[in-house]
């Protein structure tokens, strides 16, 4: 370590090297070496240790008792949380500084975003014109539900495109301006858009699957659109829209900030590192003001006043930016990964439970449709056409159940493990918000509507027709060539015979 050792000779004449000599001449016990604290006063007892990371700078204007140590555990480097007041633990060569950390996930985001936007826009345009020509209640309601699903999936595609564009714009300086991005209006709008899109899609899929199951069970019920059935549809859609809107917008309403505000970011202030939470604010405030009474019930407005009181009026004061509910991760998503210590954990768990129920409704409804369809197909004649239709229906239902299960069940399970503090799910926000959950936004138009399938079949028929026509032309040309060759051979043979 480049430092000498001072020895202490005990009465029994044994010599022990139990003291560490600092570069400034002080001596400390080896128990205080590499303990993430500057015990020497010059930091020499922490230099070269394998268990820590030394921050780039410390502030000479703020008392060291109010600042985090200049040395932090190595595990705190590149963990997405600022532990050094200068941000050097996150802004360095080891850490990836971008909204989307993975390169392949960045490509997937562009592909899914463009695909979901284009495909669902096409479905909306085509399905909107088909609703007017729908005959019967079943056809009309199915078209309406598919249309609403396309709206939700389109919003998800817009969210993915917004994140991909923001990732390109902030690629160079994201690490330095990360908190500016997290509390920006753009991030909040994208978070609300993603929440409305995913909830609308899942909610409508549950309604559509339930209605299809009901239609099969009551196949002889009235199929005409009545005032009662129309009113029921309107009330259902309004209730769904209200529920989705409340869930998505309540977390960003100022009157509920004590439940949903993640923290406050103070640009250019070294006293509050990153975006400290309410508990981290209280720790600093108690160092300055002393013990705070009723600190567990301290509101954010009171915290702002106390923080403002720490700075004299002859200075520029301090200005903080609120970290919204959707600013908990760079991809700006609903905060599903919560722990019992998070003030919004009840709300997030309630929404997660609601999503689980909706996913269960989809799976159970299509399982019931699958069983009823098999029973019906078995009672009909075993013709080739009915067998083909049955196989196609079974494949379609299996795909619906499989995609819903693989999209939501792993995510729900990870949320539960995170809440129980068994496993930290926050590093996986990107994977689930950009790949696993949005995959349905690309697949749904193919599963729930035959629009894309008809386009694919039309394209296939056109390609096959062009290829077949070209092959036929080539065959005809070959046949003509062969005939001409045969005629030439006959003429040649005739000429030779005549000459002889």
**C-beta separation of 207 from 240 below 8 A:** yes
What average pLDDT does the structure give for the chain?
80
The yes-or-no verdict on residue 188 having pLDDT over 70 is yes
* Tokens 């899929």 sit on residue: 205
Higher pLDDT, 252 or 489: 252
Three-class DSSP category at 71: strand
Token pair in block for residue 434: 């950009």
Residues 52-73 have a mean pLDDT of 56
Q: What are phi and psi of 200, to 5 degrees?
A: -60, -45
DSSP-derived secondary structure letter, 53: E
> Which one, of 84, 64, 86, 59, lies nearest residue 74 by Cα?
84
The yes-or-no verdict on residue 386 having pLDDT over 60 is no
Q: Which of 240-254, 403-417, 428-442, 458-472 has the highest mean pLDDT?
A: 240-254
pLDDT of residue 355: 93
Q: Which of 35-49, 377-391, 448-462 has the lowest mean pLDDT?
A: 377-391
The yes-or-no verdict on residue 155 having pLDDT over 90 is yes
The yes-or-no verdict on residue 14 having pLDDT over 70 is no
The yes-or-no verdict on residue 295 having pLDDT over 80 is no
pTM, rounded to two decimals: 0.76
Higher pLDDT, 211 or 453: 211
Q: Which of 86-95, 148-157, 232-241, 357-366 has the lowest mean pLDDT?
A: 86-95
Q: Which of 169-173, 302-306, 386-390 has the highest mean pLDDT?
A: 302-306
- The C-alpha atoms of residue 356 and residue 407 are separated, in whole angstroms, by 11
Half-sphere exposure of 210 (CA within 13 A, CB side): 12
The yes-or-no verdict on residue 498 having pLDDT over 70 is no
Give the length of the chain.
Answer: 500
Q: Which of 59-63, 160-164, 346-350, 471-475 has the lowest mean pLDDT?
A: 59-63
Higher pLDDT, 470 or 170: 170
Q: pLDDT tens for residues 470-495? A: 778 887 777 777 666 666 565 666 55
Residues 354-373 have a mean pLDDT of 88
The yes-or-no verdict on residue 207 having pLDDT over 50 is yes
> Which one, of 352, 342, 351, 353, lies nearest residue 258 by Cα?
342
With pLDDT > 90 as the criterion, what percentage of the chain qualifies?
25
**What are the Cα distances from residue 251, in Å, to 127, 159, 237, 355, 438?**
33, 18, 22, 17, 22
Q: What's the longest Cα–Cα distance across the chain?
A: 139
Sign of CA dihedral 49, 52, 57, 62: negative
Q: Which of 138-147, 377-386, 448-457, 473-482 has the highest mean pLDDT?
A: 138-147
The yes-or-no verdict on residue 282 having pLDDT over 80 is yes
DSSP-derived secondary structure letter, 254: G
């Amino acid at each position: 370590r480049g430092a000498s050792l001072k020895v202490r000779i005990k009465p029994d004449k044994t010599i022990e090297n139990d003291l560490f000599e600092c570069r400034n001449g002080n001596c400390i016990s080896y128990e205080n070496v590499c303990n993430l604290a500057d015990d020497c006063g010059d930091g020499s007892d922490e230099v070269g240790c394998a268990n820590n990371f030394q921050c780039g700078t410390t502030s000479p204007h703020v008392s060291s008792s109010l600042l985090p140590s200049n040395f932090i555990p190595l595990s705190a480097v590149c963990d997405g949380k600022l532990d050094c007041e200068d941000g050097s633990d996150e802004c360095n060569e080891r850490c990836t500084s971008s909204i989307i950390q993975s390169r392949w996930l960045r490509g997937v985001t562009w592909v899914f975003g463009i695909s979901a936007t284009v495909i669902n826009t096409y479905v909306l345009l085509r399905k909107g014109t088909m609703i007017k020509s729908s005959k019967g209640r079943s056809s009309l309601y199915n078209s309406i539900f598919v249309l609403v699903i396309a709206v939700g999936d389109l919003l998800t595609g817009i969210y993915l495109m917004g994140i991909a564009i923001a990732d390109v714009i902030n690629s160079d300086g994201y690490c330095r301006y990360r908190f500016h991005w997290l509390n920006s209006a753009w991030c909040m709008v994208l978070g609300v858009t993603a929440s409305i899109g995913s909830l609308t899609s899942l909610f409508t899929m549950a309604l559509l699957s339930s209605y299809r199951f009901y239609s099969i069970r009551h196949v002889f019920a009235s199929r005409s659109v009545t005032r009662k059935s129309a009113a029921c549809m309107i009330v259902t859609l309004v209730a769904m829209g209200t529920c989705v809107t409340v869930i998505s917008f309540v977390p960003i309403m100022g009157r509920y900030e004590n439940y949903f505000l993640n923290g406050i970011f103070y640009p250019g202030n070294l006293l509050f590192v990153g975006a400290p939470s309410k508990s981290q604010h209280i720790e600093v405030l108690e160092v300055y003001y002393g013990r705070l009474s009723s600190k567990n019930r301290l509101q954010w407005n009171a915290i702002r006043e106390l923080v403002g009181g720490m700075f004299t009026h002859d200075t520029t004061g301090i200005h903080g930016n609120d970290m919204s509910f959707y600013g908990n991760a760079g991809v700006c998503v609903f905060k599903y990964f919560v722990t019992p210590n998070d003030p919004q954990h009840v709300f997030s768990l309630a929404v997660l439970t609601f999503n689980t129920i909706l996913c269960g409704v989809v799976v159970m409804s299509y399982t019931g449709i699958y069983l009823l369809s098999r029973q019906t197909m078995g009672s009909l004649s075993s013709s080739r056409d009915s067998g083909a239709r049955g196989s196609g229906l079974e494949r379609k239902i299996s795909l619906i159940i499989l995609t819903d299960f693989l999209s939501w069940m792993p995510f729900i399970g990870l949320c539960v493990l995170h809440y129980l503090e068994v496993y930290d799910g926050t590093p996986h926000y990107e994977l689930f918000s950009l790949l696993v959950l949005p995959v349905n936004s690309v697949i749904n138009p193919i599963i729930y509507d035959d629009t894309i399938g008809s386009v694919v079949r039309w394209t296939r028929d056109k390609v096959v027709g062009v290829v077949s026509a070209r092959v036929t032309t080539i065959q005809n040309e070959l046949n003509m060539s062969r005939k001409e060759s045969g005629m030439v051979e006959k003429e040649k043979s005739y000429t030779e015979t005549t000459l002889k």
